[in-house]
């Protein structure tokens, strides 16, 4: 049923991973003239020159967006396969793996972006990364509630 508690967690995962596509993940400001940031689609390095023109380097980080979209699709499939809890558990396990890969891809891209600046120090992680971490936690909680429902049904079958 859609009104179960794990449905709320799965809907939250869908919303959060959709928001990852729109929010920045990492940023480093070396000065007013040099800025590097990472979002779900690009690693962008911007350097303002003295003549007023900007040097902009863009590398792709589209795999973060692809992983986020696949995660949304799997969470949606899991949400609507509420009649088969075993399938929901399998989809939840796949989603955990994909969410972890997405987190790893974000950290990898932040290291790649940090290399572009050629300066010491590190940037700061922004909202996009924390949305992914929250989605991982919500996925773990939803899997726990799905497993609890499955155990409840099994125990009810034993009593018959």
What pLDDT sits at residue 15? 97
Q: What is the domain class of 5-159 according to CATH?
A: mainly alpha
Q: What is the tens place of the pLDDT at every residue in 44-62? A: 988 888 777 777 888 888 9
Q: Whole-angstrom Cα distance, residue 142 to residue 8?
A: 8
**Per-residue pLDDT band at 159 (split at 50, 70, 90):** low
Q: Whole-angstrom Cα distance, residue 13 to residue 132?
A: 9
Structure tokens at 101: 């890969």
Residues 86, 143: contact at Cβ < 8 Å?
Answer: no
Closest by CA to 25, choosing from 119, 102, 140, 138, is 102
Sheet holding 34-38, edge to edge: 54-60, 42-48, 34-38, 26-29, 124-125
Q: What is the tens place of the pLDDT at every residue in 82-139? A: 888 899 999 999 999 999 999 999 999 999 998 888 777 788 999 999 999 999 999 9
What pLDDT sits at residue 3? 65
**Per-residue pLDDT band at 151 (split at 50, 70, 90):** confident
What pLDDT sits at residue 158? 65
Instruction: Report the pLDDT averaged over residues 147-153.
Output: 86
Examine the pLDDT at 13 and tell me if it is beyond 70: yes
Residues 25, 40: contact at Cβ < 8 Å?
Answer: yes
Query: HSE-up of 153 (CA within 13 Å, CB side)?
Result: 10
Q: Whole-angstrom Cα distance, residue 76 to residue 79?
A: 5
């Amino acid at each position: 049923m859609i009104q179960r508690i794990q449905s709320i967690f799965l809907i939250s995962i869908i919303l959060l991973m959709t928001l990852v596509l729109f929010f920045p993940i990492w940023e480093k400001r070396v000065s007013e003239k040099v800025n590097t940031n990472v979002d779900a689609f690009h690693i962008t390095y911007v350097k303002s020159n003295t003549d007023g023109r900007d040097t902009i380097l863009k590398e792709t980080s589209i795999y973060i967006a692809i992983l986020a979209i696949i995660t949304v699709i799997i969470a949606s499939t899991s949400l609507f396969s509420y009649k088969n809890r075993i399938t929901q558990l399998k989809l939840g396990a796949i989603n955990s793996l994909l969410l972890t890969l997405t987190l790893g891809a974000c950290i990898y891209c932040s290291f790649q972006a940090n290399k572009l600046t050629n300066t010491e120090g590190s940037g700061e992680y922004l909202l996009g990364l924390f949305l992914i971490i929250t989605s991982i936690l919500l996925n773990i909680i939803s899997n726990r509630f799905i497993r609890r429902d499955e155990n409840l049904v099994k125990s009810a079958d034993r009593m018959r």
